[in-house]
Amino acid sequence: MNVLLSIKPEFVERIFSGEKKFEYRKAIFKRNDIKKIVIYSTMPEGKIVGEFSIEKIHNNSPELIWKQTKKRSGIKKSFFDSYFFGRHKAYAIEIADVVRYDTPIKLSQLAKKVSAPQSFSYLHDDIFLEIA
């Protein structure tokens, strides 16, 4: 199983450049069989642009997550603090094996209907094989 993850274009570029090695989330997938993260770059791009493997998913208080990941976060502490304001738990997906697709894919190009996820959505293997 794979996941389609919505990520802002500025952060997508930092992932591709290697500056951003952690993707932060307030909530994480319930399934533990996730193999890959497929990157959906949100508007104005609005396309599937690449993928990465999950090295590890860290979870702890926002303070401890920041302490563990800040050197490779690709974001400013003020953004992190704003994102996790009022939260007691934070997740950091450790990014590995990043692949940028040669040709970005519009969701409308896929054979099965796939909507842009608010945060993430599960992608069954048949849809992933169509993308990859």
Q: Which domains does the chain have, with CATH numbers?
A: 2-131 (2.30.130.30)
The first and second tokens of residue 67, run together, are 């302490």
Question: pLDDT at position 64, please?
Answer: 98
pLDDT attached to residue 114:
85
Query: Identity (one letter) of the amino acid at 26?
Result: K
Residue 69, pLDDT > 90, answer: yes
pLDDT above 90: residue 128: no
CB atoms within 10 A of CB 126: 9
Three-state SS at 21: coil
pLDDT of residue 42: 96
Q: Has residue 132 got a pLDDT over 90? A: no
Q: What is the pLDDT of residues 12-67, one digit of tens each?
A: 999 999 999 999 999 999 998 998 999 999 999 999 999 999 999 999 999 999 99
Q: Read off the pTM.
A: 0.92
pLDDT at 78: 98
Residue indicated by tokens 């094989």? 129
Using CA atoms, how far apart are residues 75 and 118, in angstroms rounded to an integer?
Answer: 20
pLDDT of residue 41: 97
Check residue 127 and give its pLDDT: 78
Cβ neighbours of residue 83 closer than 8 Å, sequence gap 6 or more: 24, 26
Q: Tens digits of per-residue pLDDT, 77-125?
A: 999 999 999 999 999 999 999 999 999 999 989 878 888 888 899 987 7
